[in-house]
Structure 1
Amino acid sequence: MLVRTFGWSLAVTAVALAFSAVVWGWEGLAVVAILSVLEISLSFDNAVINAGILRKLSPFWQRIFLTFGVLIAVFGMRLVFPVVIVAITAKIGPIEAVKVAVNEPTRYEHLVTSAHPAIAAFGGVFLLMIFLDFLFEEREISWLGWLERPLARLGKLESLSVVVALVVLLVAAMTVATEVPVHGGGTVDKTATVLLAGVAGLITYLVVGGVSGFFEDRLEEAEDDESEEAAPAPRTGSVIGLAGKAAFFMFLYLEVIDASFSFDGVIGAFAITNDIFKMALGLGIGALYIRSLTVFLVRKGTLDDYVYLEHGAHYAIGALAVILLLTIKFEVNEVVTGLIGVVLIAASFGSSVVRNRRLGEGSGQPDRQAEVATKV
Structure 2
Amino acid sequence: MTTGEKIAALWRDHKLSQEALGEKLGLSRQAVSKWEADQAVPTMDNLMELSRLFGVPVDTLLRPDAPFPAPPAEGGAGKENEDAPAAPETPHKGVSLSRGKILAIGGAALLCVSLALNAVCLYQIAQLKGEVQALRVQAGNVNTVYYPGTDADTGDFAESSEHMTLDPENTEQLIVTFSAVPRVASDGETAKFLLRGGEQSWECEAEGDAGGGYRGSLTIPMVDEYSVYLVLTDQNGGTRNLLIASESDIENRFSIDVQAYWSSGGPTFSFGKNTFTGTLSTYVDFHDALEDNSFTGRIILYQNGKEIAEQPLEYRSQGGEYGANIYDTEVRLGTFEGRMSDFTVTVEITDAYGRVFTASPD
Select the structure of larger CA radius of gyration: 2
Class of the TM-score when normalised by the shorter of the 2 chains: under 0.3
Higher helix share goes to which structure? 1
| Higher-strand-fraction structure | 2
Higher relative contact order (CA 8 A, sep 6+): 1
Query: What is the TM-score normalised by the length of structure 2?
Result: 0.24
